[in-house]
Amino acid sequence: MRRTAGVVAWLLAAAGIADGLAEHPPHGADVGNAAVFLTLFLGVTVYGLTRLLPLRPVQRRASLRRRLLAATAAVWAVAVFAVGIEVVAIVVNGGWLPWLLPVPALVAVSALALWRSDLAGPARCLASDDWTPITAAAFEVHPGEPVDGFMVLPSGWRTRFHLPAVPADVAEELRDRRRLWLAGWPSDHFVVGLPAGSGCAIGLVGAHGDRKNTGPGAPARR
């Protein structure tokens, strides 16, 4: 629902901006103001894309590492590009661009940094090579599909969990042995896999479907 509302709001804003520019083209000093506004709009659009567009759930550790490397490279590439443009502007025009580039560049870098942070936490859990087996059960477990079930955390709390897509080896472990392996637990992230496996899943504790994570060790909501 939030994603749909965001897309609709963006389309309406984009249509309004396009109509305004077509009906009342900027002249003189308004050209610079229009450029600043459009640049800010593009910067916010980049941020919105990182937060609203769905990402395919990670099912392999190698894929998570590749995404983390891509996010890290993107952060540095955008930051270096923005600084380079400012240097060129200072050399050519004798002054920096106070609004046209720094503000949207900061928005874009911040959005990419948040994306990287979302990937770095689970990657650290897997890199720790510290695994905790827990008892867990679910009614229907199919490889590659979402899974909702119940588990008993190391703290003793019985709570719900949700995995957006379960790898084949994790699905077999959950279905046949009623067990999940937590990577790097305790952690702010709920990462499951197998110590000798190649798959992984990043899920939610205390959640069913799209419900909000209640945090590690928290009891299920009643």
Torsion angle of C-alpha atoms 172, 174, 165, 68, degrees rounded to 10: -90
In the three-class reduction of DSSP (H, G, I as helix; E, B as strand; rest coil), residue 140 is classed as coil
Same domain, 104 and 8: yes
Domain end call among 127, 161, 182: 127
Same domain, 25 and 99: yes
pLDDT of residue 194: 92
Same domain, 74 and 181: no
pLDDT of residue 113: 87
Same domain, 98 and 72: yes
Same domain, 68 and 115: yes
Same domain, 157 and 77: no
pLDDT of residue 220: 35
Same domain, 149 and 66: no
Same domain, 121 and 173: no
Residue 221 domain-assigned (yes or no): no
Q: Looking at residues 3-8, what average pLDDT do you find? A: 61
Task: Kindly report, residue by residue over 128-187, the tens digit of the pLDDT.
Answer: 889 999 999 998 899 889 999 999 988 888 999 999 888 999 999 999 899 999 999 888
Residue 213 domain-assigned (yes or no): no
Domain end call among 127, 162, 185: 127
Which range of residues forms the domain containing residue 19?
2-127
Same domain, 143 and 105: no
The DSSP H or E segment spanning 179 is strand 179-183
Domain end call among 107, 127, 147: 127
Q: Which of 17, 16, 48 is nearest to 33 (CA)?
A: 17
Asked if pLDDT for residue 9 goes beyond 60, the answer is: yes
pLDDT of residue 133: 93
Residue 215 domain-assigned (yes or no): no
For residue 210, give Cα distances in angstroms to 75, 136, 168: 29, 19, 22
pLDDT of residue 6: 58
Residue 217 domain-assigned (yes or no): no
Residue 222 domain-assigned (yes or no): no
* pTM summary value: 0.66
Residue 80 domain-assigned (yes or no): yes
Count up the domains in the chain and report the number. 2
The DSSP H or E segment spanning 2 is helix 2-23
Q: Which of 197, 207, 151, 209 is nearest to 172 (CA)?
A: 197
Find out whether 199 and 59 touch, Cβ atoms under 8 Å.
yes
Average pLDDT of the residues of the chain? 76
Same domain, 155 and 189: yes
Residue 61 domain-assigned (yes or no): yes
Same domain, 7 and 107: yes
Query: pLDDT class for 111, splitting at 50, 70, 90?
Result: confident
Task: Kindly report, residue by residue over 26-63, the tens digit of the pLDDT.
Answer: 666 666 666 666 666 766 676 666 665 556 677 788 88
Residue 214 domain-assigned (yes or no): no
Same domain, 110 and 138: no
